[in-house]
Amino acid sequence: MSEYVNKILEGLKKSNPGQDIFIQAATEVLHSLAPLLSREEKYQKHAILERITIPERAVHFRVTYIDDNKNVCVHNGWRIQFNSAIGPYKGGLRFHPSVNAGVLKFLGFEQIFKNSLTGVAIGGAKGGADFDPKGKSDREIMKFCHSFMDELYRHIGNTTDVPAGDIGVGGREIGYLFGQYKKLTGRFDGILTGKGLGWGGSLARTEATGYGLTYFTEQMLKRAGLGLEGKKCCVSGSGNVAIYTIEKLYQVGALPITASDSGGFIYDEEGIDVALIKELKELKRARLSEYVKFRPHAKYTPIERYPAGRNGVWSVPCDGAFPCATQNELNLADIKTLYANGCRFVSEGANMPSTLEAMEFMLGKKDFYFAPAKAANAGGVATSGLEMMQNAGMDSWSFDEVDRRLQGIMKHIFELSYETSKEFGDEGNLVLGANIAGFRKVADAMIDQGYV
Ligand code: GLU
């Protein structure tokens, strides 16, 4: 059966030149599917791997706006509609200079399986632009979002494709995108999630990814007879996922001691001041280096001082690590350092933050617990699903109601992933369990629906 997998991967390399990041995502998923593929012939017979690795549709478009200095700025925009077998396309928009078709294909591909795991009826997609919101004025952000929606509006709808935020796209951007959609179509539809609370957004959506990540980690450690209480945790990133992971870690009795941004990282041995990070990052859109002005005992290390190819935040001794920044931010050398310093679990808040080699290292250790992104960070998109349900019912639920459902969903995802790992003879390997469980539901739906 690995012959089938290898043939598909070789084909993918040829048909997706220069998209190593997409090949990395496909390699991880396809390898872990081998035990399912050798048990069930139907997936090969129906050419599921051949089909599931090609997006159903990918739209590439031009986005133009005039900046505050009257320059004409031109960017690439994309929406990759990867798979709609189990529901309308769903997945975020990323605005970052590193965005390209390969990055969005990796993210869209992952989203298929993540969304399937949530139990909500949503397919997989991703979109975005090679636009850097950093340092732009509010007017520039608004103009860019309006121009982006000038094309995107043709491709989305509340039963077809429902985008949301990701890196560089938060509440402000969703607002500008929604406003332009409404102006162009005249319709007040729930075509985006992560909306403002006064106009169709859901309570607890902002917190959901970080809270869900912590709930998932609690489940994973509980199964091993362990817990988060008193654990020192290294968190990377300082965006929405990192901030609400830090907040929830305190609530469950853990001590988060680090945070980072593209300039460097903070080590605060007394524990990260979550109110301060919120103020700096959410309100002032400031650099993390400002943190030490308010907490002089904390230590800021600029990125230039990290050893080459390393992420300095992983050199801080801890019990567990929560990579919540971006893809491939935790490599083999990083995990070896973490492990040598006593770290015994990693929970992925970002999408694909660990390299394949780092993942292999973690799965190879009997005394190590690894929560893979597709399962562990699915709370964000799951709560987007809850926002869609509230919109469809013209309803709005309390914070506690949404949080209660989120906890139930994360428990379900953990149990489904764990039980599936057991079913395939590799108990506790949540990479294998999550990938097989997420894949099986989508693949069976594709078989039911014929060759489309
Ligand atoms: N961007 C988030 C993710 O990676 C959320 C997507 C959504 O809410 O649709 O899952």
- Average pLDDT taken over every residue of the chain: 97
Residue indicated by tokens 């980690």: 217
The predicted-structure confidence for 264-301, as pLDDT tens digits, reads as follows 999 999 999 999 999 999 999 999 999 999 999 999 99
Q: If pLDDT is split at 50, 70 and 90, which confidence band does 452 have? A: confident
Model confidence at 25, in pLDDT bands (50, 70, 90)? very high
117 Cβ closer than 6 Å to some ligand 1 atom:
no
What is the per-residue pLDDT for 4?
94
Minimal CA–CA distance to 306: which of 318, 316, 320, 296? 316
Q: How far is the CA of 70 from the centre of ligand 1 (A)?
A: 34
Percent share of the chain, pLDDT over 70: 100
Separation of CA 244 and ligand 1 centre (Å):
15
Query: Which residue owns the Cα nearest ligand 1 atom 5?
Result: 381
pLDDT tens-place string over residues 95-121: 999 999 999 999 999 999 999 999 999
Residue 254 pLDDT exceeds 80: yes
With a 6 Å cutoff on the Cβ, whether 351 touches ligand 1 is: yes
The whole-number pLDDT of residue 309 equals: 85
pTM: 0.98
Active-site residue, 126 included? yes
Q: State whether the beta carbon of 164 lies less than 6 angstroms from ligand 1.
A: yes
Quick check: 361 pLDDT over 70? yes
The CA 380 to ligand 1 mean position distance, Å, reads 6
The residue whose CA has the least distance to atom 9 of ligand 1 is: 91
Which residue has 């009257």 as its token pair?
70
Average pLDDT over residues 184-192: 97
In this prediction, residues 302-318 reach a mean pLDDT of 93
Q: Among 111, 112, 327, which is best to mutate for testing ligand 1, by the most ligand atoms less than 8 A from CB?
A: 111
Closest-lying ligand 1 atom to the alpha carbon of residue 107 = 4
Among protein residues, the one with the nearest Cα to ligand 1's atom 10 is: 381
What average pLDDT score do residues 234-258 get? 98
437 band by pLDDT with thresholds 50, 70 and 90? very high
Average pLDDT over residues 335-364: 98
pLDDT at position 308 is: 85
- Residue-wise pLDDT tens digits, 31-88: 999 999 999 999 999 999 999 999 999 999 999 999 999 999 999 999 999 999 999 9
Q: In the numeric block, which tokens belong to residue 27?
A: 């390699």
Band the pLDDT of 307: cuts 50, 70, 90.
Answer: confident
The CB of 128 under 6 Å from ligand 1? The reply is no
Confidence of residue 1 (pLDDT cuts 50, 70, 90): low
HEC profile for the chain? CHHHHHHHHHHHHHHCCCCHHHHHHHHHHHHHHHHHHHHCCHHHHCCHHHHHCCCCEEEEEEEEEECCCCCEEEEEEEEEEEECCCCCEEEEEEECCCCCHHHHHHHHHHHHHHHHHHCCCCCEEEEEECCCCCCCCHHHHHHHHHHHHHHHHHHCECCCEEEECECCECHHHHHHHHHHHHHHHCCCCCCCCCCCHHHCCCCCHHHHHHHHHHHHHHHHHHHCCCCCCCCEEEEECCCHHHHHHHHHHHHCCCEECEEEECCEEEECCCCCCHHHHHHHHHHCCCCHHHHHHHCCCCEEEEHHHCCCCCCHHHHCCCCEEEECCCCCCECHHHHHHHHHCCCCEEECCCCCCECHHHHHHHHCCCCCEEECHHHHCCHHHHHHHHHHHHHHCCCCCCHHHHHHHHHHHHHHHHHHHHHHHHHCCCCCCHHHHHHHHHHHHHHHHHHHHCCC
Residue in 105, 126, 136, 374 annotated catalytic: 126
Query: Which residues define the annotated binding site for NAD(+)?
Result: 209, 240
Q: Are strands 255-256 and 232-236 parallel, antiparallel or unpaired?
A: parallel
- Mind listing the domains of the chain with CATH numbers? 1-54+431-451 (1.10.285.10), 55-190 (3.40.50.10860), 207-371 (3.40.50.720)
- Residue 171 is predicted with a pLDDT of 97
* pLDDT average, residue stretch 151-157: 98
Distance between Cα 191 and ligand 1 center (Å):
14
